[in-house]
Structure 1
Amino acid sequence: MSRRARVLPGFSLSLGVAVLYLSLVVLLPLSALFLKTAELGWERFTRIVTSSWVASAVRFTLGASLVAALLNVVIGLLIAWVLGRYTFPFARVLDAVIDLPFALPTAVAGIALSTLYADTGLLGGALSSVGFRYPWPAWRGFEHGWRAWPIEWTAYDRISLAPLGVVVAMAFVGLPFVVRTVQPVIEDLGRDVEEAAATLGASRLQIFRAVVLPELAPALLTGFALALARGLGEYGSVIFISGNRPDTEIASQVIIKMIEVNETGTYADATAVAVLLLGASFALLLVINLLQRAAARARSDGAAG
C-alpha cells in the first residue's frame, strides 16, 4: 500500500513546531505569570484579590463584559442574518466594516467613541438634551470586598465617563467575533426545512425558535464566549471613554496602576490580579464549552431519535 501524500511535513515535525510555537507564545508567558504570583504567598495573594479595589474593578469588568456580549449576540445575529441571507447594494462594504475593529487600534477606537458620546459630542449631546437616563447596579459598602451587599441602583445621565460607555466600547471590539462566527453557519443553513415548516403552517417565530435557533446555538455560544473574553481583556478602547473614574474602573486599569510609579501595589501584586482575571476567563470559557457540547449532544440524539 502506497503512503498517502501529504502537503505538510510529517506528524512529528508538525507537532514539534506547533508545540514550540505555543510554548513560546502562550505557555511560557503564562508560566512566568504564575511563578511571579507565587512569590506573594497565599496570604498576601488572598488579601490582594479580596480587597475592595480589586473586587470592585473585577465585578464591574465581569458585569460590563457580560452585558456587551449579550448585546453583541442579539445585534450580531441580526447583522449576520442580513449579510448571509440577503443581497443588497454595498453589502460588501458593510461586510468589510464588520472587520474594522480587528484592524483599528483600540486606542483610536476609544478616542473616537469618547468624542462621539461625550456631553458635547454628536450623540452624547443629543441624548443629554432629551434627558437620557439609565440605571446601573452599584454595590454599597464595598469595603467588604467580594461580600459587598446590598445592591443599589444608580442613575446615570451620560454615556461617556459612565458604565454604559464601557459597555459600548466592549461591544464595539467584540461584535466581529459574533458576526464572523455565526455568518458562515447561516450561509450554509438550508432553507428546505424552513420552507417545509412554513408549508405546515408554522409562524415565523415558531420556525426561528424550533428550526433555525437550534442550528445556530453552538455558533452563538462560541461568538458569545469570544466576545465575552475580548471584553474581559479590553483596555485601550475603554480607558478613554471610562475616564479613569472609580465607578468605571476595569480590572486592566487596576493592573496598570499597580505597576506604575507612586501607585499602591507592586509588579507581583499586579500579576495576582492578572491571575484572578485569567482564572475567571478560563472558568467562563469552560462553562460555555460544556454547554456547547451538551447542546451538540442533545441535537445529535434528537436527530438519531
Structure 2
Amino acid sequence: MAQQSRVLPGFGLSLGFTLAYLSLIVLIPLSAVFIKSLGIGWDGFLDIISSQRIIKALQLSFSTALLAAFINVIFGLLLAWCLVRYRFPGKRLIDALVDLPFALPTAVAGIALTSLYAPTGWIGQYLESFFNLQIAYTPIGITLALIFIGIPFVVRTVQPVLADIETELEEAASALGANRLQIVCKVILPILFPALLTGFALAFARGVGEYGSVIFIAGNQPFKTEIAPLLIISRLEEYDYAGATTIAVVMLLISFAILLLINVVQAWASRRTGRSAR
C-alpha cells in the first residue's frame, strides 16, 4: 500500500522548526532574563524582591488583573451571548467594536479613559460631585483600564464555542422538565467553561503586563497606584538592569503558576464535557 502523501513535512522536520522557533522567540529571551537576574546572587535577589514598594506594586498588578479578568468573563459572556443568539439593529457594528481595543494604541486608550474619569473629566466630575467616587488615579481606574483592553479576549474565545452549541440540547432539556436556570447551569455553562477559562487566562495575562493604557489613569503613586511594569521601566531608565530583570522574573513565575493552574482546571473541564476550548 502506497504511503499517503502529506502537505506538511514529516514529524522530525516539523518538530525541529517548532523547537527552533520557540527557542529563538521565547526560550532564549526568557533564559536571558533569568540569567541576568541571578547574576546578582541569591542575597541580592531577595533584597530586591523584599522591597515593600515592589511588593505593593506586584500586589496591585496581579489583584487588578485578576479582578478585571473575572469581570470580563461575566460581561464578555453576556456580550457574546447577545451577538450569537439575537438579531438586532447595529449588531455588526457592535461586533466590530469588540475588536477596537486590539487596534487602538494602548496609550491612546489610557489618555481617553483619563480624560473621561479624571476629577475634571466628562464623567469623573459628576461621579465625584454626586457620589464622592474617584475613578482616575485609584486602583478602580487601573481595573477599568484592564477591563477595556481585556474584554475582546473573552468575547472572541467564547463566541465560536457558543455558536457551535446546538439549540436542540436546550430544547431537549426543556422537554425533560428543566427550567431556564437549570438549562444555563447544567447544559450551557459546562460546555462553555473551558472557553471561559481560556478567555480568563488571556485577559489576565494581558492585564498583568499592561503598561500603556494604565500609566495615565493610575497616577503612579508609590505604595498606592504604582504598577509593576512601571517599576521595570523605571529600573531600566536608571540602568538598573538587574533590578528590572528581577521584578520581571517574579512576575513571570507568579503568572506561570496561575496560568498553569488555569490550564489544569481547563483540561479537567474539557475531559468532563468532551470538548476543547477554541
| 1:3 Cα offset (Å) | 2.8
Whole-angstrom CA distance in 1 between matches of 2:83 and 2:272: 29
Secondary structure (helix, strand or coil) at the match of 1:9 reads: coil
Q: Equivalences for 1:227-266 in 2 at 5 Å? A: 227-246=203-222, 247-261=224-238, 266=240
1:139 paired residue number: none
Q: Equivalences for 1:194-209 in 2 at 5 Å? A: 194-209=170-185
| 1:12 Cα offset (Å) | 3.3
CA deviation string 1:129-171 (max 9, x = no partner): 2224xxxxxxxxxxxxxxxxxxxxxxxx311111111001111
1:216 paired residue number: 192
Whole-angstrom CA distance in 2 between matches of 1:10 and 1:272: 40
**Alignment coverage as a number of residue pairs:** 273
Letter in 2 for 1:130: F
In the alignment, is residue 193 of structure 1 matched against residue 169 of structure 2? yes
Letter in 2 for 1:296: S
Return 5+ residue gaps in structure 1 as ranges: 133-156, 301-305
Secondary structure (helix, strand or coil) at the match of 2:134 reads: coil
Q: TM-score, normalised by structure 1?
A: 0.86
1:225 paired residue number: 201
Whole-angstrom CA distance in 1 between matches of 2:101 and 2:25: 23
Whole-angstrom CA distance in 1 between matches of 2:101 and 2:15: 32
Whole-angstrom CA distance in 1 between matches of 2:269 and 2:134: 40
CA deviation string 1:67-118 (max 9, x = no partner): 1001000010001111111122221211111111111111111111111111
Q: Equivalences for 1:1-305 in 2 at 5 Å? A: 1-132=1-132, 157-246=133-222, 247-261=224-238, 266-300=240-274
| 1:19 Cα offset (Å) | 2.1
Whole-angstrom CA distance in 1 between matches of 2:2 and 2:84: 43
Letter in 1 for 2:96: A
| 1:50 Cα offset (Å) | 1.6
| 1:126 Cα offset (Å) | 2.2
| 1:223 Cα offset (Å) | 0.6
Q: TM-score, normalised by structure 2?
A: 0.94
Whole-angstrom CA distance in 1 between matches of 2:95 and 2:6: 35
Whole-angstrom CA distance in 1 between matches of 2:182 and 2:195: 20
Secondary structure (helix, strand or coil) at the match of 2:258 reads: helix
Letter in 2 for 1:206: Q
Structure ranking higher on relative contact order (CA contacts 8 Å, 6+ apart): 2
CA deviation string 1:281-302 (max 9, x = no partner): 10000001111122223335xx
CA deviation string 1:234-263 (max 9, x = no partner): 1110001101112111110111112223xx
Whole-angstrom CA distance in 2 between matches of 1:285 and 1:45: 24
CA deviation string 1:197-252 (max 9, x = no partner): 22233221111011111011110011111111111111110001101112111110
Whole-angstrom CA distance in 2 between matches of 1:202 and 1:121: 49
Secondary structure (helix, strand or coil) at the match of 2:131 reads: coil
% identical aligned pairs: 55
Letter in 2 for 1:41: G
Letter in 2 for 1:71: I
Whole-angstrom CA distance in 1 between matches of 2:96 and 2:4: 39
| 1:175 Cα offset (Å) | 0.7
Whole-angstrom CA distance in 2 between matches of 1:50 and 1:194: 53
Whole-angstrom CA distance in 2 between matches of 1:15 and 1:197: 45
Whole-angstrom CA distance in 2 between matches of 1:189 and 1:47: 52
Whole-angstrom CA distance in 2 between matches of 1:171 and 1:239: 15
CA deviation string 1:169-214 (max 9, x = no partner): 1111111110111000100001112112222332211110111110
